[in-house]
Amino acid sequence: MLQLSLFDPNPAPARPRTQGTADVIYADSSAILARPTGRLADLDFVINPYQGCTFACTYCYAAFFVAEEEQRERWGQWVRVKTNAIAKLRNSRQNLHGKTVLMSSATDPYQPIEARLELTRSLLPILAQRGARLAVLSRSPLVTRDIDLFETFEHLNITMSITTDSDEVRKLFEPQCASIDRRFEAISRLSREGFKTRINVSPLLPLNDAGAFAERILETGVSRVHINTFHEASGPFASGTRQPALKIAREMGWTEGRREQVLAELRGYLNQGGRQLAA
């Protein structure tokens, strides 16, 4: 568990350090709980312990929300640790009882640095004590580390993002993320342990075999699957799929027509026999 004294009350240096090839910036944040808008507006709060994400997915729309152009360009090569996150959450006067909190919307709360810092882990007991209904969203098998704390929530669901059945495709679009096998193992384990689980196929990437992928998803025991395709931004400040992913997609012939066709196919397999598993 992260020692509070590391982050609170003494501010940590704002100078970047490096972890692997990524810059790690330690800085206070003006807020830790945010009111979601747009597609997430039906949630009460979102919580992002970090800004930036070293999983570096080529399609990540979160890069569009970063103010500095240089950091948008270098998305995936830096992460900002919100040094006052624990204190901010602890001191927040928001009533979280029965409120839905998503962790996270613009970063991965279980990205590599979390293994060492345990910042996400340190926020969990506060959220549980305050009676929040927690929705965890991650691409990382590290999420299973916190099973002991997840058990303390009355309401909790965990979503694992798995975007393709091909590790070759995965390495092109999300090279820093864990293998498909490890993600399937993690979400299957969470289902077996009795948690409410979901899979996010978002964005849907090229598949080897939609039927076999659907079977594998069904075997995990998840109660819901959300499938989404690339969002193509329509203006200079619109959020959407980043250019590196669109370039790879073009080179692979992953056209809008093909994406819609595979999405319908996968959804069909998942909803077969009146299951209605996939939205």
Q: Count H helices, E strands: the chain? A: 11, 11
- Residue 53 touches ligand SF4, criterion: CB under 6 A: yes
225 vs 202: CA distance, rounded Å: 10
Which of 139, 242, 259, 267 touches ligand SF4 by CB under 6 A? 139
- Residue 96 touches ligand SF4, criterion: CB under 6 A: no
Other CB atoms within a 10 A radius of the CB of residue 154 amount to: 10
Which of 46, 47, 57, 169 touches ligand SF4 by CB under 6 A? 57
Nearest to 134 by CA among 66, 49, 205: 49
Q: Which stretch binds ligand SF4 (CB under 6 A): 33-41, 52-60, 94-102, 149-157?
A: 52-60
Which tokens hold the place of 265?
């196919």
Contact indicator for 33, 150 with CB cutoff of 8 Å = no
Q: Which stretch binds ligand SF4 (CB under 6 A): 9-17, 36-44, 48-56, 232-240?
A: 48-56
Nearest distance from C-beta of residue 57 to ligand SF4, angstroms: 3
User: What is the size of the binding site for ligand SF4 (CB under 6 A)?
Assistant: 9
- Residue 2 touches ligand SF4, criterion: CB under 6 A: no
C-beta closer to ligand SF4: residue 56 or 172: 56
Which of 47, 89, 108, 242 touches ligand SF4 by CB under 6 A? 108
Which of 56, 117, 124, 245 touches ligand SF4 by CB under 6 A? 56
Nearest distance from C-beta of residue 68 to ligand SF4, angstroms: 17
Contact indicator for 112, 54 with CB cutoff of 8 Å = yes
C-beta closer to ligand SF4: residue 62 or 249: 62
Q: At what angle do helices 256-270 and 210-219 cross, to 10 degrees?
A: 40
Which of 25, 62, 66, 127 touches ligand SF4 by CB under 6 A? 62
- Residue 50 touches ligand SF4, criterion: CB under 6 A: no
CB-neighbour burial class of residue 55 (10 A; exposed 0-12, middle 13-18, buried 19+): buried
Segment holding 45, helix H or strand E: strand 45-47
| ∠ Cα 18 63 70 (to 5°) | 60
**Backbone phi and psi for residue 200, each to the nearest 5 degrees, phi listed first:** -105, 115
C-beta closer to ligand SF4: residue 58 or 100: 58
Nearest distance from C-beta of residue 174 to ligand SF4, angstroms: 6
In the complex, which residues of this chain contact ligand SF4 (CB under 6 A)?
53, 55-57, 60, 62, 107-108, 139
